[in-house]
Protein backbone atom coordinates (compact mmCIF):
# COMPACT_ATOMS: atom_id res chain seq x y z
CA UNK A 1 0.00 0.00 0.00
CA UNK A 2 1.47 3.32 -1.02
CA UNK A 3 1.73 6.35 1.21
CA UNK A 4 -0.99 8.04 -0.86
CA UNK A 5 -3.56 5.34 -0.16
CA UNK A 6 -3.14 4.89 3.59
CA UNK A 7 -6.21 5.63 5.67
CA UNK A 8 -5.95 7.48 8.98
CA UNK A 9 -8.94 7.25 11.29
CA UNK A 10 -9.67 8.71 14.68
CA UNK A 11 -11.45 5.78 16.29
CA UNK A 12 -13.52 5.49 19.45
CA UNK A 13 -12.82 2.69 21.89
CA UNK A 14 -15.80 0.32 22.00
CA UNK A 15 -14.30 -2.22 24.38
CA UNK A 16 -11.08 -2.91 26.27
CA UNK A 17 -10.78 -6.21 28.09
CA UNK A 18 -8.01 -8.28 29.64
CA UNK A 19 -8.05 -11.86 28.32
CA UNK A 20 -4.95 -13.34 29.98
CA UNK A 21 -1.78 -12.25 31.76
CA UNK A 22 -0.64 -8.98 30.15
CA UNK A 23 -2.89 -9.76 27.18
CA UNK A 24 -5.69 -7.40 26.16
CA UNK A 25 -8.37 -7.12 23.50
CA UNK A 26 -9.02 -3.62 22.17
CA UNK A 27 -12.13 -3.08 20.04
CA UNK A 28 -12.36 0.13 18.03
CA UNK A 29 -15.03 1.78 15.95
CA UNK A 30 -13.78 1.88 12.35
CA UNK A 31 -15.81 2.86 9.31
CA UNK A 32 -13.06 2.52 6.69
CA UNK A 33 -10.09 0.42 7.80
CA UNK A 34 -12.33 -2.39 9.06
CA UNK A 35 -13.88 -2.77 5.60
CA UNK A 36 -10.50 -2.71 3.83
CA UNK A 37 -8.32 -4.92 6.05
CA UNK A 38 -7.50 -8.50 5.07
CA UNK A 39 -5.94 -11.34 7.14
CA UNK A 40 -2.24 -10.75 7.75
CA UNK A 41 -2.31 -6.97 7.48
CA UNK A 42 -1.59 -4.65 10.38
CA UNK A 43 -2.36 -1.14 11.58
CA UNK A 44 -0.33 1.52 13.36
CA UNK A 45 -1.91 2.92 16.51
CA UNK A 46 -1.00 5.99 18.52
CA UNK A 47 -2.55 7.34 21.69
CA UNK A 48 -1.95 10.45 23.74
CA UNK A 49 -0.66 9.80 27.25
CA UNK A 50 1.07 11.68 30.04
CA UNK A 51 4.27 9.78 29.21
CA UNK A 52 6.15 11.66 26.45
CA UNK A 53 8.14 8.56 25.48
CA UNK A 54 4.93 6.60 24.91
CA UNK A 55 3.66 9.23 22.45
CA UNK A 56 6.66 9.28 20.11
CA UNK A 57 5.92 6.55 17.56
CA UNK A 58 2.89 4.73 16.26
CA UNK A 59 2.98 1.07 17.19
CA UNK A 60 2.18 -1.78 14.76
CA UNK A 61 -0.49 -4.33 15.65
CA UNK A 62 -1.78 -7.20 13.55
CA UNK A 63 -5.49 -7.02 12.76
CA UNK A 64 -7.05 -9.59 15.09
CA UNK A 65 -10.53 -9.46 13.60
CA UNK A 66 -12.91 -7.19 11.70
CA UNK A 67 -16.65 -6.72 11.70
CA UNK A 68 -19.08 -4.11 10.48
CA UNK A 69 -17.54 -0.80 11.56
CA UNK A 70 -15.43 -2.69 14.09
CA UNK A 71 -11.70 -3.34 14.32
CA UNK A 72 -10.22 -5.71 16.92
CA UNK A 73 -6.63 -5.61 18.18
CA UNK A 74 -5.09 -8.27 20.43
CA UNK A 75 -1.94 -7.08 22.18
CA UNK A 76 0.44 -7.86 25.00
CA UNK A 77 1.89 -5.30 27.39
CA UNK A 78 5.57 -4.87 26.49
CA UNK A 79 6.49 -1.31 27.42
CA UNK A 80 5.20 2.18 28.19
CA UNK A 81 3.08 2.46 25.05
CA UNK A 82 1.17 -0.80 25.41
CA UNK A 83 0.94 -0.29 29.17
CA UNK A 84 -0.73 3.06 28.51
CA UNK A 85 -3.19 1.34 26.17
CA UNK A 86 -4.51 -0.77 29.04
CA UNK A 87 -5.98 2.38 30.60
CA UNK A 88 -8.09 3.16 27.53
CA UNK A 89 -11.79 3.34 28.36
CA UNK A 90 -14.96 3.20 26.27
CA UNK A 91 -15.28 6.45 24.34
CA UNK A 92 -11.57 7.30 24.37
CA UNK A 93 -10.10 8.14 20.97
CA UNK A 94 -7.03 6.65 19.28
CA UNK A 95 -5.41 7.35 15.92
CA UNK A 96 -5.27 4.35 13.58
CA UNK A 97 -3.38 4.16 10.29
CA UNK A 98 -3.81 1.29 7.86
CA UNK A 99 -4.38 -1.27 6.68
CA UNK A 100 -0.67 -1.85 6.08
CA UNK A 101 1.39 -4.67 4.60
CA UNK A 102 0.30 -7.67 2.56
CA UNK A 103 -1.97 -10.58 3.35
CA UNK A 104 -2.17 -14.34 3.70
CA UNK A 105 -3.56 -16.18 0.69
CA UNK A 106 -7.19 -17.30 0.86
CA UNK A 107 -7.28 -20.97 -0.09
CA UNK A 108 -10.20 -23.37 -0.50
CA UNK A 109 -10.77 -27.08 0.00
CA UNK A 110 -7.49 -27.72 1.82
CA UNK A 111 -6.35 -29.22 5.10
CA UNK A 112 -4.70 -26.21 6.72
CA UNK A 113 -2.57 -25.97 9.85
CA UNK A 114 -2.58 -22.48 11.41
CA UNK A 115 0.08 -21.95 14.09
CA UNK A 116 0.62 -18.96 16.35
CA UNK A 117 3.52 -18.63 18.78
CA UNK A 118 2.81 -16.25 21.66
CA UNK A 119 1.33 -13.02 20.32
CA UNK A 120 1.82 -14.40 16.83
CA UNK A 121 -1.74 -15.62 17.31
CA UNK A 122 -3.05 -12.04 16.99
CA UNK A 123 -3.45 -11.83 13.18
CA UNK A 124 -4.28 -15.53 12.79
CA UNK A 125 -7.74 -15.39 14.35
CA UNK A 126 -8.89 -13.12 11.51
CA UNK A 127 -7.37 -15.60 9.06
CA UNK A 128 -9.11 -18.52 10.77
CA UNK A 129 -12.49 -16.80 10.44
CA UNK A 130 -11.89 -16.19 6.73
CA UNK A 131 -10.82 -19.76 5.96
CA UNK A 132 -12.99 -21.95 8.18
CA UNK A 133 -16.02 -22.13 5.89
CA UNK A 134 -14.18 -23.63 2.91
CA UNK A 135 -11.28 -25.52 4.52
CA UNK A 136 -10.56 -28.17 7.13
CA UNK A 137 -8.52 -26.30 9.74
CA UNK A 138 -6.42 -27.18 12.75
CA UNK A 139 -5.31 -24.13 14.73
CA UNK A 140 -2.64 -24.21 17.43
CA UNK A 141 -1.66 -21.48 19.88
CA UNK A 142 1.60 -21.96 21.77
CA UNK A 143 2.22 -20.03 25.01
CA UNK A 144 4.92 -20.20 27.67
CA UNK A 145 2.79 -20.35 30.82
CA UNK A 146 -0.74 -21.36 31.78
CA UNK A 147 -1.69 -17.82 32.81
CA UNK A 148 -1.11 -16.73 29.20
CA UNK A 149 -3.80 -19.07 27.89
CA UNK A 150 -6.57 -17.17 26.09
CA UNK A 151 -10.08 -18.61 26.67
CA UNK A 152 -10.93 -19.32 23.04
CA UNK A 153 -14.55 -20.27 22.44
CA UNK A 154 -13.83 -22.15 19.19
CA UNK A 155 -13.17 -25.86 19.70
CA UNK A 156 -10.85 -25.95 16.67
CA UNK A 157 -8.29 -23.74 18.44
CA UNK A 158 -5.92 -25.81 20.58
CA UNK A 159 -3.56 -24.24 23.11
CA UNK A 160 -0.24 -25.81 24.13
CA UNK A 161 1.76 -24.55 27.11
CA UNK A 162 5.57 -24.84 26.92
CA UNK A 163 8.42 -23.40 28.96
CA UNK A 164 10.12 -22.53 25.68
CA UNK A 165 7.86 -20.67 23.25
CA UNK A 166 7.19 -22.79 20.19
CA UNK A 167 9.00 -25.89 21.51
CA UNK A 168 5.97 -28.18 21.42
CA UNK A 169 5.00 -27.11 17.93
CA UNK A 170 8.52 -27.33 16.54
CA UNK A 171 9.08 -30.77 18.07
CA UNK A 172 5.77 -32.15 16.83
CA UNK A 173 5.16 -30.35 13.55
CA UNK A 174 6.33 -33.32 11.44
CA UNK A 175 3.86 -35.59 13.26
CA UNK A 176 1.02 -33.11 12.73
CA UNK A 177 1.73 -32.85 9.03
CA UNK A 178 1.82 -36.62 8.54
CA UNK A 179 -1.02 -37.62 10.87
CA UNK A 180 -3.47 -34.91 9.78
CA UNK A 181 -2.44 -34.95 6.10
CA UNK A 182 -1.76 -31.22 6.19
CA UNK A 183 -1.56 -29.54 2.78
CA UNK A 184 -0.68 -25.98 3.75
CA UNK A 185 0.68 -24.16 6.81
CA UNK A 186 0.11 -20.55 7.86
CA UNK A 187 2.03 -19.28 10.87
CA UNK A 188 3.15 -16.26 12.85
CA UNK A 189 5.54 -16.06 15.78
CA UNK A 190 9.21 -15.84 16.79
CA UNK A 191 11.72 -16.18 13.94
CA UNK A 192 13.30 -19.45 15.19
CA UNK A 193 9.85 -21.01 15.37
CA UNK A 194 8.98 -19.81 11.86
CA UNK A 195 12.25 -21.24 10.52
CA UNK A 196 11.54 -24.62 12.10
CA UNK A 197 8.03 -24.69 10.65
CA UNK A 198 9.39 -23.72 7.22
CA UNK A 199 11.95 -26.50 7.30
CA UNK A 200 9.29 -29.07 8.23
CA UNK A 201 7.00 -27.88 5.44
CA UNK A 202 9.78 -28.05 2.86
CA UNK A 203 10.76 -31.54 4.05
CA UNK A 204 7.14 -32.69 3.75
CA UNK A 205 6.78 -31.15 0.30
CA UNK A 206 3.98 -28.79 1.28
CA UNK A 207 3.65 -25.01 1.14
CA UNK A 208 3.87 -22.62 4.07
CA UNK A 209 3.29 -18.92 4.62
CA UNK A 210 4.83 -17.13 7.59
CA UNK A 211 4.08 -13.70 9.01
CA UNK A 212 7.28 -12.27 10.44
CA UNK A 213 7.59 -10.25 13.61
CA UNK A 214 9.88 -7.23 13.31
CA UNK A 215 10.50 -3.90 14.98
CA UNK A 216 8.97 -1.09 12.93
CA UNK A 217 9.09 2.66 13.20
CA UNK A 218 7.07 3.96 10.25
CA UNK A 219 5.15 0.91 9.01
CA UNK A 220 5.21 1.93 5.33
CA UNK A 221 8.78 1.44 4.12
CA UNK A 222 10.39 4.81 4.76
CA UNK A 223 12.64 4.09 7.74
CA UNK A 224 14.16 0.75 6.58
CA UNK A 225 14.06 -0.46 10.17
CA UNK A 226 12.51 -3.85 9.40
CA UNK A 227 14.62 -5.06 6.45
CA UNK A 228 15.34 -8.80 6.26
CA UNK A 229 17.48 -10.87 3.92
CA UNK A 230 15.61 -13.31 1.66
CA UNK A 231 16.52 -15.53 -1.27
CA UNK A 232 15.30 -12.71 -3.49
CA UNK A 233 17.37 -10.00 -1.82
CA UNK A 234 16.56 -7.62 0.99
CA UNK A 235 12.88 -7.05 1.71
CA UNK A 236 10.93 -4.76 4.03
CA UNK A 237 8.71 -6.63 6.45
CA UNK A 238 6.26 -3.72 6.59
CA UNK A 239 5.60 -3.40 2.84
CA UNK A 240 6.90 -6.57 1.14
CA UNK A 241 5.48 -8.53 4.09
CA UNK A 242 4.74 -9.20 6.81
CA UNK A 243 3.57 -12.40 5.10
CA UNK A 244 6.14 -14.32 3.05
CA UNK A 245 6.30 -17.71 1.41
CA UNK A 246 8.52 -19.67 3.76
CA UNK A 247 10.54 -21.10 0.87
CA UNK A 248 11.53 -17.56 -0.17
CA UNK A 249 13.34 -17.04 3.13
CA UNK A 250 14.70 -20.42 4.24
Instruction: Please list the pLDDT of the chain residue by residue as tens digits (250 residues).
Output: 334 467 999 999 999 999 999 999 999 999 999 999 999 999 999 887 655 555 546 889 999 999 999 999 999 999 888 999 999 999 999 999 999 999 999 999 999 999 999 999 999 999 999 999 999 999 999 888 889 999 988 877 888 887 655 555 667 888 889 999 999 999 999 898 899 999 999 999 999 999 998 887 778 888 888 899 999 999 999 999 999 999 999 8
Nearest to residue 247, comparing CAs of 235, 230, 233, 228? 230
The whole-angstrom separation of Cα 183 and Cα 164 is 27
By residue count, the chain amounts to: 250
Structural domains in the chain, CATH included, are 3-100 (2.40.30.10), 111-248 (3.40.50.80)
Kindly report whether the global pTM for this prediction surpasses the value 0.75.
Answer: yes
Does the N-terminal peptide bond of residue 99 adopt cis geometry, omega within 30 degrees of 0? yes
Q: Which run of H or E residues covers position 174?
A: helix 167-180
Amino acid sequence: MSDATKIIEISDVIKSKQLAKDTFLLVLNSSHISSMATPGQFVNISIQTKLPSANMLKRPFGVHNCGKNKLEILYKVKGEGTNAMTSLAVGDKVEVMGPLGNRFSICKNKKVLIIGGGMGIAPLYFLYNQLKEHNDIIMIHGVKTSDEVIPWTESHIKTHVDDVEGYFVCENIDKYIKKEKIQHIMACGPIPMMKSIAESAIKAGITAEVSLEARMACGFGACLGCVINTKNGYKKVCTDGPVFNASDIW
